Chains A and B, each alone.
Chain A
Amino acid sequence: MQELEVRLKQIPMPELLVEERLRTFNDVPLGYTEEQALAEAARCLQCENPLCVDVCPLHIDVPGFIRLIRLGAFREAAERVREKSCLPAVCGSVCPQEVLCMMGCKNTLGDPINIGALERFVAEWELERGTSILKIPQPTGKNVAVVGSGPAGLSVATELTKMGHHVVIFEALHEAGGVLTYGIPAFRLQKKVVKQEIDYIRKLGVEIRTNVIIGKTLTLDELFEEGFDSVFLGTGAGLPKLLGIPGENLCGVYSLNEFLIRINLMRAHGFPHKSITPIKVRGRVAILGARGLDAARCALRLGAEEASIFYQRKVVGRADEIRRGMEEGVKFQSLTKPLRLIGDGKGWVKQVELTRLELDPQGKIAKPKLIPKKGSEFLYDAETVVIATEHVPNTIATGNSSKNIKITEKQGTIFVDPETLEATQGIFAGGDVVSGAASVIKAIEAGKRAAQSINKYLMKKY
C-alpha cells in the first residue's frame, strides 16, 4: 500500500526557502538529484500511445528519454531530448508543462509525471559534463541569415546547421538569447544555463554576431547582396504597448521591458558593485497588467515594501510560478483597471488611480464582458510603477528594405504562408513576430518548421 502511495505522488521539486529567495536572484526550483530523477522516472507508465508526445509542440520522445533515465543512461536521455529540441534545459525550466506534456500524461490514478523536471535534469546533467557534438553533414555551400537570437532564431539555426547549411545569426543587443536573456529573470532560468545552451549551438557551427541591427546596421537587401541565399526573421515581440492613460511618462514609471532589461541584461540588481546600470525600486510597487508576475517577483527581490499586480482576468504565467509568487508575497488584484497615474508635483509618480471591474449585466452570457464598477475608484500609493501589458513585434528589421513583406497594421506581426512560414520569396519568419507574444516552445517549433521550408527552398533553387 505504502509503495502504491509513493507511486501516485509526484516527487516534489526541491525549492529555495522563501526567506532565502528574496535575498538573491538564484534559481528557485533547485532541480532533481539523481535519486529523485530515478524515482520520478520510475513512476512513468511507458504508455504505448503516449499522449504526452502528441501534445508536445516539438514531439519530444518523452517515454523514450524517461526509459533511458531509468537505465541510468543520462547522456543518452539528454541526446534523445536534443534530437527534437535545441534548448532542452530552457524548455525544462520555462515550458508551461501543466498545459502541454503533463496534461497529456495518462498516469490518471495519481499526479502526472513531472516531465519538465526530468527534462531539465538530463539537460543540465549533460551541460555540466560537456555535450557530445553531433556529426554535421558535408557543407551544402548555402548561407542563411537569421535575424534575432531568441528561441525561434536559435532553433532554425540549429536545424539548418544540422542539414549542412552555413548560418549566421544577427543579434541587435550585446548578448545572444533574445527573451531568454533580456526577459526571463534568473530565478526562473539561470543565465549560466542559457549561455551553455547557446555555446552548444555555437559549437555546432552557428555563427552569432551581436551588436548588429538588421534594418539599421545592415538591411535585408544587403544581406542578400552579401551572399545570403535566404533570411529568417525571428525578431520576436519586443515593443511595449503603453496604456495610454495620463501620467505614464512620470519618473518611476517603467515599461515591463525596461524593468526586465535593466535587471536581466544589464544586471542592475548588482548596482553598483557588479554593474553601473541603475534601477529605482522604492516603497510600494504597482504592476499594471497581466504580464507582470516576473516584474513583481523582481521588485520584491530589489527591496520593494509591497508588490501588487493589478489585472483584469488572469495573470500570465506557469502555475508553479504563480504559486511561488504568492509564497514570496506578491499581491494579486484581479478585476481592476488603472485610470491614471498621479505625480508628486516634482515629476515623480506617487499614486495610481484604479477602478474595480464587474461583469456587464447586459452582456451576453457566452461572451462575458467586464465594465468599470461605478463608484469603485480607489487610489494605490506607489513610488514605482511597471506597465506590464502586451508586447508587439518590432518592425526595425523590415525597414529600409525593398522586400515586399506584409505587416499587420494593428499588431505589427508579419504575414506568412501558414504552411511554409515564407513571408516573401526567400524570406521566412516565425515565433512571436508572426504569432504575437506566445511561448518559448512555440517559437522553437516555428523555427524547426521554417528550417524544413528553408531547406526545401535552398535545395530547389539553382
Chain B
Amino acid sequence: MENEILFKEKLAPDVKLIKVESPLIAKKAKSGQFIILRADEDSERIPLTIIDCDHKEGTITLVFKEVGASTKKLGTLEVKDRIHDLVGPLGNPSEIKFCGKVCVIGRGVAIAAAYERAKKLKETGNDVTTIISARTADLLIYKEDLKKISDRFYTVTDDGSEGVKGYANDVLKKLLDSGERFDLVYTVGAATLMRTVSEVTKPYNIKTIVSLNSLMVDGTGMCGCCRVTVGGKPMFTCVDGPEFDAHLVDFEEFRARIHMYDQEEKFALEHTEGKCKCKS
C-alpha cells in the first residue's frame, strides 16, 4: 500500500530508519533530493533527505532524528502503519561524477546523507575520505558501512568517547595542513559544522558543497520559508537547492532562520507529551 512503512530500524538513541512504499517517488528520486511528509493530520510538513531508493521494490529509505513534536509522532509509526502524506522527489538532483579525491563530512543524523553521498562518489570511481562526527559515540551511525567504502575513515566525537575528541573541521584542517588535497568536499549536518568546514576549505580554494536543511512548508517554491542568501542573492533551498556552494552561503542568516521556531518547538513538544500547563 502506498506510504506504508515496510521496515523500521533504530540506528541510535532517537535516530530511526524507515523504508516506505512509494513507487512513484522511488522511480524518480536521484541523489541529493528530498521528500516532504506529514506523519498525521496535525503534524507539520517536514523535509527529509532520500537516503536510498529501490526502483524495483518501489521503496524509499528515510532516516530521521526525533527532536520535535512532528518527528516524535513520525517515530511512533510502526511497520504496516501509513504515513499520512508523502510528496516528492523535491529539490535538484546533485551531480555525481568523478572528481578525483573527495572528502565527505557528516554529523549526527545527517551521517545517513553523508553515507549515501560517499557510496555514490565511490561508485563513480572517486577516492573517498570520510569524516563523521557526533556529540557522543552511540550517535555515530553507519560506521561499519562507511568503513567499508571509504579509502580513509575518521570518527570524531565532542566528548572524545570515540575517535578524535573535538570537531570534524579540526580533523579536516589537520589533513589539509599536513599536505592532503581534495578536489571536492561535501558536507551535511548542523549549521555550525557546515560553516566551520566551509571556513577551513576556503583558504585552500577547495570546491565545497553543502546540503542545507532549511525549514520548509510546501517545498515547491510557494512560501519562501527556506530562503537563504547565496552569493548575495536570495535563493529558495527547496527549488534552487538543497545543495549550494558552501563558500557563497550566508551561514549566519541560515542558522538564525532554522532556529526561528525553537521556542514553539519546545512548547509543541511539551504539549504533545502532556507536560504543558495549558488545559486542553
**B218 CB-CB contact with A under 8 Å:** yes
Question: Given A213-B87, A266-B44, are A272 and B272 also a contact pair (CB < 8 Å)?
Answer: yes
In chain B between 13 and 54, which residues have their CB closer than 8 angstroms to a CB of chain A?
24-25, 28, 38, 42-45
**Contact at B220–A172, with CB atoms within 8 Å?**
yes
In chain A between 95 and 140, which residues have their CB closer than 8 angstroms to a CB of chain B?
none
A residues at B contact (CB < 8 Å): 172-174, 182, 210-213, 216-218, 238-240, 242, 248-252, 255, 257-258, 261-262, 265-266, 271-278, 280, 346-348, 394, 396
Whole-angstrom CA separation of A70 from B89 in the bound complex: 54
Chain B minimum-CB-distance residue to A235: B220
Whole-angstrom CA separation of A182 from B257 in the bound complex: 23
14 A-B residue pairs with Cβ-Cβ distance under 8 Å, sorted by A, are A174-B87, A216-B89, A216-B220, A238-B221, A261-B223, A262-B217, A265-B217, A271-B264, A272-B264, A272-B278, A276-B43, A278-B268, A348-B256, A394-B220
**Contact at B85–A396, with CB atoms within 8 Å?**
no
Chain A residues lying within 8 Å of B250, measured Cβ to Cβ, are 249
**B153 CB-CB contact with A under 8 Å:** no
Chain B interface size band reads 35 or more
Instruction: Choose among B69, B234, B255 the residue that contacts A276 (Cβ–Cβ < 8 A).
Output: B69
Instruction: Choose among A210, A257, A275, A346 the residue that contacts B42 (Cβ–Cβ < 8 A).
Output: A275
Chain B minimum-CB-distance residue to A171: B87
Question: Given A174-B85, A261-B222, A272-B268, are A216 and B28 also a contact pair (CB < 8 Å)?
Answer: yes
**Contact at B221–A396, with CB atoms within 8 Å?**
yes
**Contact at A346–B85, with CB atoms within 8 Å?**
no
Chain A residues lying within 8 Å of B44, measured Cβ to Cβ, are 266, 276-277
In chain B between 188 and 242, which residues have their CB closer than 8 angstroms to a CB of chain A?
217-218, 220-225, 227-229, 234, 239
Tell me the dominant secondary structure on chain A's binding face: loop
Whole-angstrom CA separation of A250 from B259 in the bound complex: 12
**Contact at B278–A273, with CB atoms within 8 Å?**
yes
17 extra interface residue pairs, beta carbon distance < 8 Å, beyond A174-B38, A257-B222, A257-B224: A174-B87, A217-B28, A239-B221, A242-B227, A249-B250, A249-B253, A249-B257, A251-B260, A258-B217, A272-B267, A272-B272, A273-B280, A276-B42, A277-B45, A278-B261, A278-B264, A347-B256
- Chain B CB within 10 A, most for which of A212, A251, A274: A251
Closest CB pairs A-B (n = 4):
A347-B256, A278-B264, A258-B223, A174-B85
Whole-angstrom CA separation of A347 from B191 in the bound complex: 15
**Contact at B256–A251, with CB atoms within 8 Å?**
yes
**Contact at B268–A217, with CB atoms within 8 Å?**
no
**B265 CB-CB contact with A under 8 Å:** yes
Question: Given A249-B229, A266-B217, are A217 and B24 also a contact pair (CB < 8 Å)?
Answer: yes
Whole-angstrom CA separation of A210 from B41 in the bound complex: 14
**Contact at A273–B234, with CB atoms within 8 Å?**
no
Instruction: Choose among A213, A249, A276 the residue that contacts B268 (Cβ–Cβ < 8 A).
Output: A276
Chain B residues lying within 8 Å of A273, measured Cβ to Cβ, are 271, 278, 280
- Chain A CB within 10 A, most for which of B70, B255, B261: B261
Whole-angstrom CA separation of A173 from B253 in the bound complex: 28
**B252 CB-CB contact with A under 8 Å:** yes
Whole-angstrom CA separation of A250 from B221 in the bound complex: 18
Whole-angstrom CA separation of A396 from B91 in the bound complex: 11
Chain A residues lying within 8 Å of B264, measured Cβ to Cβ, are 271-272, 278, 280
**Contact at A261–B217, with CB atoms within 8 Å?**
yes
**Contact at A217–B227, with CB atoms within 8 Å?**
no
CB distance from B272 to the nearest CB of A (A): 7
**Contact at B42–A274, with CB atoms within 8 Å?**
yes
Chain A residues lying within 8 Å of B223, measured Cβ to Cβ, are 240, 255, 257-258, 261-262
Whole-angstrom CA separation of A275 from B43 in the bound complex: 6
**Contact at A173–B224, with CB atoms within 8 Å?**
no
Instruction: Choose among B43, B85, B88, B257 the residue that contacts A217 (Cβ–Cβ < 8 A).
Output: B88
